[in-house]
Amino acid sequence: MQQGERIVYGKGMAASISHTLRTLGNSDLQLTPIGFGAWAIGGGDWAFAWGPQDDKQSIDAIHRALDLGINWIDTAAVYGLGHSEEVVARALKGVSKRPYVFTKCSRRWRADGTIYGALQPASLAEELEGSLRRLGVETIDLYQVHWPDPDAEIEAAWEALERFRAQGKIRWIGVSNFNAEQMKRIQKVAPITSLQPPYSMLRRAIEAEILPFAQKNGIGVINYSPMLSGMLTGKMTAARVAAMPADDWRKRAVEFNEPRLSRNLRLVELLREIGQGHNVNPGVVAVAWTLHHPAITAAIVGGRSGQQVEEIAPAMEFRLSEDEYQRVNSYLAADAA
C-alpha cells in the first residue's frame, strides 16, 4: 500500500476491498486511483481537440464514472476554450455526492481561438473568476498552473495562486508540466500540493529526476495520458488512425505516425496478452503500469462515453504483479535497443 493510501470497504463488506483512496501530497484530498479526464469532452472547435464530441455523451460518461466510484474530475479552462468546464458543471448539477473538481490556468485564448501562455497575476485572477463561473462553484478543490509559460513569471504566478488559496477561492494548488528546477524555484514561495505530468510506458522521461524529486518533497503526482491518448487502449489500429477527423490533434502526433505507430501497436499486443489472464483490456494494463510506480498517486483517464468509462473502470482495482511489471519493462528495453 502506498503512503497515504487507505482502504475503503464496500457497504456491509467487512473483509473485501471495494477500492483504495490515496492522499494527494500535503492535502486532505483522498483520491480514487483513477480520475475522470475532461480534455476530450471540450469538443472539436479548438487547436488541441480530439474531434467532434456530443455533450450528452460527455455528461453520460461523467455520470457513469461517478456511479462506478470515481471521485475526482480533472479539466482545464483551455479545454474546448471553456466548454469542458461548462459540460462538467452541467453533469454535476443536482448530483448529491459531488466529486472533487480540479482545473488549470495559464493557457488563454484570443477571439480567433489562438492559444497563448499567460502567468501575470491579473490574468490569473481573471482566469480564476472565469473557471469559478463556468464550473458553478465558489471554491476549486485543486487549481493547477497548466504550463510554466512564460518561465520567468512562475514565481509571481505561484504567489498569486497562494493568495487566491488564502482568500478561500482555491483549496489546494498544484502544477502541471513543470520540471524539477522549476518546482524548486516556486517552493520558496509556497508549498506544492501536486504535480501533473505526462507519464506512460511510452513517455518515461520523468522517471529520471522529476518523480524522485516529487517523492522526496512529498508532492503528489497525478499523471495524464497513461494510455498515451488512446494508443494503448487496445482499440487503436493503423486504419483507425488514418480515418481520424482532421481536427483530431493525434493525426499530427509522432506516436500516431510511422515508424512509431507500428512499434506501439506491437506493444499493445503484449498488454493484451497480460490482460487476458485477468480479464481486463490492454488499457487497464497500461494504467496499472503507471500506478505501479511509488511516486504516482493517481492516474487521469479520459472517457467520451459511458461505455468507454466502463471499459477502463477495472483500473480502479487491477494491479500488475512485479513479474508482469518487469515483463513489460524488459519488452520496452529490448524494443528500444
Catalytic residue ranges:
79
Cβ neighbours of 176 (radius 10 Å): 22
Strands 140-145 and 100-105: parallel
Question: Per the structure block, which three cell numbers stand in for 97?
Answer: 455526492
Distances (CA, A) of 271 to 180, 229, 233, 312: 31, 16, 9, 14
Q: Residue 101 in contact with residue 137, Cβ under 8 Å?
A: yes
Q: Are 144 and 180 in contact (CB under 8 A)?
A: no
> Which positions ≥6 away from 48 have C-beta within 8 Å?
39, 78, 115, 249
Contact (Cβ atoms closer than 8 angstroms) between residue 241 and residue 40: no
Q: Say if residues 25 and 194 touch (Cβ distance below 8 Å).
A: yes
Instruction: List helix spans (H) across the chain.
Output: 55-67, 83-92, 121-135, 154-166, 180-187, 210-216, 238-242, 260-276, 282-291, 306-312, 322-336
301/35 Cα distance (integer angstroms) = 6
Phi, psi values for residue 293, rounded to 5°? -75, 130
Residue type, 223: N
Q: For strand 220-223 and strand 170-176, is the pairing parallel, antiparallel, or unpaired?
A: unpaired
- Residue pair 1/20 in contact (Cβ under 8 Å)? The answer is yes
